[in-house]
Structure 1
Amino acid sequence: MSSAKVICYGEVLWDALPKGIYLGGSPLNVALNLSYLGIDSSIISATGTDLLGNLAVKSISKKGLKTELIQRNEYPTGLVEVDIDTNGIPEYLIHENVAWDHIKLNETMANALSESAYLMFGTLAFRGRSGSTLRELLKTYKGKVVLDVNLRAPFYNEDLVDEALSLANVLKLNEDELAQILTWKNRNDDYESALHWLSDQYELETILLSLGGKGAYILKDGAIAKKGRYYVKVRDTVGAGDAFLAGAIHGLLNGKNAFDTICFANAVGAFVASRNGATPVLNMSKIEIYLKYGK
């Protein structure tokens, strides 16, 4: 098996939206978008041996992503019921005790990670047996750790988020997630002060703050840059944050400066928000138009 530059760890699942069922899960979405952007990526996860599991593995392979690190087990394949409100914001009902909760540590997985530059996961990955496997892998991981703060009730608490933050080099979060962390710590910082505090508190090299329709911030090596929104017609925002993160990782891997990184990340996220589903194939011509004209 060839080595991947970025390995994403965690949930592979189906998003059941009002307009249909779509393959998703934040780590998978990030891995797929990185692959669309030309970055060698892979996903560590698990699906069931049921119909949805077979469809997931077949679809992932068809999209061009490696599937060697996707385990198959006796648990049902992950499913999330998603409702979209009038502002295009998703609400989630995440099924429990599913296949991706039961990722087992093995030598193939450890060898693949030893050759990767980045390991990305979200806070949901700390659920169940998969969380124990992740903690074990992180004990010896030498690359950069990318954390997506993905607060989905009831699967988080302050201690878990603190633990995850302490393991990360690169952090991605949205304004609601930032507000929750600041509330836990009895702080009332503005965005820039909060990013500096997070960087100092958890020794983070890069922080990505998505503000949705208001743009985004990046803190990189102590300096902050901001980019306003791109004007697109939003269909739904499922997967937009994952695309934003993939765009940012692309920028970091390619040595882009902070402003160029956040501009590109925002443009990739905007494109996905303008399409149905979490992982539409990225249209690079359209993304270049966003970068040039802002819409």
Structure 2
Amino acid sequence: MKSSIFTLTLSPAFDKSTSVESVQPEHKLRCDSPIYQPGGGGINVSRAIKKLNGSSVALYPIGGDTGNHFKALLTEEGIEQITFQIKNWTRENFIVVERSTNNQFRFGMPGSEIYKEEWEQMLAVIQDPSNDFEYFVVSGSTPKGVPDEFYTRLSQIILQKNARLILDTSGAALKHCLKEGIFLCKPNINELSEIVGKELITKEQQEAAAMEIINSGKVEILVVSLGGAGAFLASKQGIYHVTAPPVEKRSTVGAGDSMVAGMVLSLSRGNHYEDVIKFGVACGTAATMNFGTELCKLEDVERLYKQLGGK
């Protein structure tokens, strides 16, 4: 299969979201009709790219009835897919919005364990010459059974294909990929602190830490998420800070994935790094304006992008 952008989600989740007036213990809670959506890091990146009039191929494991329903939902959205059959069922997540306070309760179930023969099959498919891509996005958590070796081998495959690896994960997976060298990485401030081994309080400390990683040659672009304050992009071209425009927030689910989607799509279109981070922040901010895992809407993104001075 050929596409400029491939995404990989090792721990997809069948998301069920609803709302209730108030959450009270020991009471029967009358919920609104549930909304069913396919979720997980790379899955949301592919879904957001589609909403932005782009295209990608989503790779992910699938198992059980929940997995079948998951695949059907993604097919309805018109997402190209490569699936890997696994023994365990696709996990479920449950999200409840309390209308009286707008508080969001997110119940995340553990990822389905993936066995050695299953993740080795994934690597073989990614390595197959018939699967051609320029950008490969790995986003989301790592389920039980997937070793650090997986990420090391994946990084090597991407480099062999002369493609660009974009990573939005944490922990051991992040550290192992950094050893191999990646194109773009999106840590938050805490993760950046862990990478460099010191606390980063001031703006100057954060920028210095980012450039330390860039100058090491391990990463070409480092995008540091600052939450509601926006983000900054560091590369050998310089540092670009973007403050998130003020909006009425309804949900933060998928905001980071929408940001990654916007950045990789902008990169694939050959845009300057300053415009890449502006478009990414516009997408991430737009996602917070919607309920559940609806992600970003193109009309909101275009308006916010113009506010940020995007071209």
2:189 equivalent to 1:172: no
Identity of aligned residues (%): 20
The more displaced of 246-255 and 84-93 is 84-93
Contact 1:34 1:250 in 2 (8 A): yes
Partner secondary structure for residue 59 of structure 1 = helix
1:146 corresponds to which of 166, 172, 176: 166
The more displaced of 199-208 and 58-67 is 199-208
Corresponding residue of 2:4: 5
Partner secondary structure for residue 44 of structure 1 = strand
Q: Which amino acid is 1:274 matched to?
A: M
User: What is the distance in 2 between the residues matched to 1:100 and 1:232?
Assistant: 43
* TM-superposed deviation, 1:276: 1.6
Partner secondary structure for residue 169 of structure 1 = strand
* TM-superposed deviation, 1:113: 7.3
* TM-superposed deviation, 1:274: 0.8
Structure 2 residue runs without a partner (length 5+)? 20-33
Corresponding residue of 1:105: 121
Contact 2:148 2:176 in 1 (8 A): no
Aligned-residue CA RMSD in angstroms?
2.9
User: What is the distance in 2 between the residues matched to 1:263 and 1:87?
Assistant: 28
Partner secondary structure for residue 251 of structure 1 = helix
User: What is the distance in 2 between the residues matched to 1:251 and 1:40?
Assistant: 12
Corresponding residue of 1:14: 14
Q: Which amino acid is 2:69 matched to?
A: L
User: What is the distance in 1 between the residues matched to 2:46 and 2:149?
Assistant: 22
Q: Which amino acid is 1:164 matched to?
A: C
User: What is the distance in 2 between the residues matched to 1:263 and 1:228?
Assistant: 9
Corresponding residue of 1:284: 298
Which structure 2 residues correspond to residues 122-201 of structure 1 after superposition, within 5 A?
Answer: 122=139, 124-125=141-142, 127-129=144-146, 133-141=150-158, 142=161, 143-149=163-169, 151=170, 156-157=171-172, 160-167=173-180, 168-182=182-196, 185-186=197-198, 188=200, 190-201=205-216
Contact 1:18 1:83 in 2 (8 A): yes
User: What is the distance in 2 between the residues matched to 1:113 and 1:215?
Assistant: 38
Structure 1 residue runs without a partner (length 5+)? none
User: What is the distance in 1 between the residues matched to 2:96 and 2:119?
Assistant: 28
2:252 equivalent to 1:232: no
Q: TM-score, normalised by structure 1?
A: 0.82
Contact 1:126 1:132 in 2 (8 A): no
2:93 corresponds to which of 80, 91, 95: 80
Partner secondary structure for residue 249 of structure 1 = helix
User: What is the distance in 1 between the residues matched to 2:251 and 2:140?
Assistant: 22
Corresponding residue of 2:132: 115
C-alpha spacing 1:90/1:134, structure 2 compared with 1 (3 Å): farther
The more displaced of 82-91 and 255-264 is 82-91
Q: Which amino acid is 1:61 matched to?
A: T
Q: Which has the larger radius of gyration?
A: 2
